[in-house]
Amino acid sequence: MHAYEDAINRSSIPWVIVPSDQRWYRDYFIADHLVELMKGFNMQLPLLSEEEKHVKDQN
């Protein structure tokens, strides 16, 4: 166990330790962590130019 802890602490990768011994909870925990991480990206749909709006309205 000490070797794992040492490897994780020395790594440059931001590890997240999942406290689980059941697959369904592991999957839930990872999905929840990813959703929270992605909320911080503040993603937005790109704005359409006037030409793109015109083409969209024709279809």
Q: Which pLDDT score is estimated for 59?
A: 66
Residue 51, domain member (yes or no): no
Domain total for the chain?
Answer: 1
Residue 59 lies in a domain: no
- Going from the C-alpha of 4 to that of each of 19, 27, 39, 52, 53, the distances in angstroms are 15, 21, 30, 53, 54
**Series of mean pLDDT values for 10-residue runs along the chain (59 residues):** 89 88 95 94 88 78
Cβ distance 14 to 3 under 8 Å? no
Output the 3-class SS for the chain: CHHHHHHHHHCCCCCCCCCCCCHHHHHHHHHHHHHHHHHCCCCCCCCCCHHHHHHHHHC
Examine residue 24 and state whether it is found in any structural domain, yes or no. yes
* Model pTM score: 0.57
Residue 23 lies in a domain: yes
